[in-house]
Amino acid sequence: IHASASMNSSNDQKDGGQQHQLSKDQRLMCVAAVKYLMELKVELLAVDFDQTMVDIHTGGRWAGGSTRKLAAHVRPQLQCIL
């Protein structure tokens, strides 16, 4: 599964970290991806964190406040899959 093309959507905000809703098509893609991973019996999914799972670069440390603020930077596509 190669999701990088959909990860760089116009929904990403580098500084705002605001949550965005997935479109119906994006949700369907996420559901299909999860079903496919389950069919393959994938037991571990490794995901890079900075600028992949989240839309910012933390430098390996979160100094931006609460975990809720960090969670606001998680890309919606990965929220759906995880």
pTM of model > 0.85: no
d(CA 10, CA 75): 11
What pLDDT, in 10s, does the model give residues 41-81?
A: 999 999 999 999 999 999 999 999 999 999 999 999 999 98
The answer to whether 51 and 57 have CB atoms below 8 angstroms apart is yes
d(CA 75, CA 68): 14
Query: How would residue 19 be classed by pLDDT, with cut points 50, 70 and 90?
Result: low
